[in-house]
A and B are shown apart, each in its own frame.
Chain A
Amino acid sequence: MNAADRLATLGVRALDVMRGLGHSAFFFFELLKSAPSALRRLYLTVAQIHSIGNRSVVIIAASGLAVGFVLALQGYYTLSRYGAAESLGLLVALSLVRELGPVVTALLFAGRAGTSLTAEIGLMKAGEQLAAMEMMAVDPKARVLAPRFLAGVLAMPLLAAMFSAVGILGGYVVGVLMIGIDPGAFWSQMQAGVDVWDDVGNGIVKSVVFGIACTFIALYQGYEAQATPEGVAQATTRTVVVSSLAVLGLDFVLTALMFSTPH
């Protein structure tokens, strides 16, 4: 292969990537445009919140508890060296609310709810259900995708809040009940040190952004999946990979934007 051929191959690749990005951006705007129709079909959105949100509660709560346990153990190990073990409550709460709550919830969400969205939409496509809807003059984006999108965006911050709350309880169990830190210090340091807007508020903004990203990626991969068993399998894998990378990348950008100016 000579240099010109290589250049041409590179150009084709670059064009493909750009076309893919443009296509997904276009899809995103169409999804946003059809989102209000999910409000008109509220019962569909409610059903989706149940299947995306409620059915993820167990895994989110269990993970939150485990992360809270470990945070308290590791935090105590470091803080006690400096005689600051009383600040354990603050450490656990800040870590969870600012960072771990939104990010770990989004990663779990991609694996638990994102994959099921992708597989469901992909199989609906393979079974010609989306084509049938289209032929019945019903827009599948409005009828199928919009309620799921809205449900995902609403469910994510709630799940993240639940993750953080259960995690703090886990930290309490290990820090106070097992290690024996003073419960008054545990709670009051947390109360004094966590800011509603700077910490909790920004955590919520993060999880809303992750909700938009994860749900969009899952729906897009399902809608654009090849209508074959291998196609759906690949799309499901891509959902997890792309969502995870997107969450980690967005998290860095958001953290840099939000917490760059110390108060």
Chain B
Amino acid sequence: MNNDALVQIDHVTFGYDQRVILSDVTLTFPRGKVIAIMGGSGCGKTTLLRLIGGTLTPQKGAISFDGQPVNPRDRDGLYRLRRRVGMLFQFGALFTDLTVFDNVAFPLREHTRLPPAMIRALVLMKLNAVGLRGAAYLKPADLSGGMARRVALARAIALDPDLIMYDEPFAGLDPISLGVAANLIRRLNDATGATSLVVSHDVRECFKISDYVYVISGGRIVGRGTPDEVQASDDPEVRQFILGEPDGPVKFHYPARDYAADLELH
């Protein structure tokens, strides 16, 4: 196993009942890098994050974090692992009953015994890093979608995690917020020395900020490499995805019986 890898996913298969979501995928996430996992909606990207976080158990294969196996049955081990992982949920998942400040302070108060003054300083520093120190005493309901996600990012990095996982960080953002988010992901990664894992279908932003890209389609990895390598790929599935073609290896039509037969034209 590669010692530089923070997370290693080894021949993992996962599915619900008959539906296979990931089949025999192997990925390596080296330390200190921004890695993008791209693919269409429903291709198993978010499932991959849940597998790493241990909220789902792979049917086959193994996942390891910093050399330790991720075992969803070992609750204490899992919680120790999760303290080293920050996760940004797609819509932020902020606690709506707490202020922005208390949201960011939440992991610090739950996991440390720092004095209030220290927590205050840390929270304000994290909020400053995402540009929202001035919004510390607003409630999540008063924030725009982009701001809520930045607060969630401040919360995700509150304990200085080794791994930051982003679930669709660009979905539904306006162009300015999009640029801010992309810039933040890269900057935080470089400043904290963490490893970042970005799950997204936003081709342009992902290519801009990531060191390494995986393209998933139909539960398999169809493309991998640096952004330049993936862009130069001649694999038809990768090309369809990055060029955004409506029809190709991934069909426009959901499987159906013959069109003429459905309209009873015979």
Interface of A with B (CB < 8 Å)? 124, 127-129, 131-139, 143
Complex: how many Å from CA A134 to CA B106? 13
Interface of B with A (CB < 8 Å)? 53, 55, 78-80, 82-83, 85, 87, 89-91, 93-96, 106-107, 110-111, 152, 155
Given A131-B55, A143-B110, CB of A136 within 8 Å of CB of B93: no
Whether A137 lies near B93 (C-beta < 8 A) is no
Whether A136 lies near B82 (C-beta < 8 A) is yes
Complex: how many Å from CA A137 to CA B80? 7
Whether A137 lies near B53 (C-beta < 8 A) is no
Contacts of B94 in A (CB 8 A): 129
Contacts of B53 in A (CB 8 A): 135
Contacts of B107 in A (CB 8 A): 136, 138
Given A137-B79, A137-B82, CB of A132 within 8 Å of CB of B110: no
Return A102 CB to nearest CB of chain B, in Å.
Answer: 31
Contacts of A127 in B (CB 8 A): 91, 93, 96
Residue of B nearest to A142 (CB): B110
Whether A135 lies near B85 (C-beta < 8 A) is yes
Whether A128 lies near B91 (C-beta < 8 A) is yes
Contacts of A131 in B (CB 8 A): 55, 89, 93
Contacts of A137 in B (CB 8 A): 78-80, 82-83, 110-111
Contacts of B96 in A (CB 8 A): 124, 127, 129
Complex: how many Å from CA A127 to CA B110? 21
Q: Could you show 18 A-B contacts with beta carbons less than 8 Å apart? A: A124-B96, A127-B93, A128-B91, A129-B93, A129-B94, A131-B55, A132-B89, A132-B93, A135-B55, A135-B85, A136-B82, A136-B87, A136-B107, A136-B155, A137-B78, A137-B82, A137-B111, A139-B79
Contacts of A133 in B (CB 8 A): 95
Contacts of B82 in A (CB 8 A): 134-137
Whether A129 lies near B95 (C-beta < 8 A) is yes
Q: Which of B82, B83, B87, B93 has the most CB of A within 10 A?
A: B93
Complex: how many Å from CA A17 to CA B53? 31
Complex: how many Å from CA A135 to CA B96? 17
Additional 9 contacts, C-beta under 8 A, given A129-B94, A129-B95, A137-B111: A127-B96, A129-B96, A134-B82, A135-B82, A136-B155, A137-B80, A137-B82, A137-B110, A143-B110
Complex: how many Å from CA A241 to CA B96? 28
Complex: how many Å from CA A222 to CA B93? 17
Complex: how many Å from CA A163 to CA B12? 59
Q: Which of A129, A134, A135 has the most CB of B within 10 A?
A: A135
Return A137 CB to nearest CB of chain B, in Å.
Answer: 4
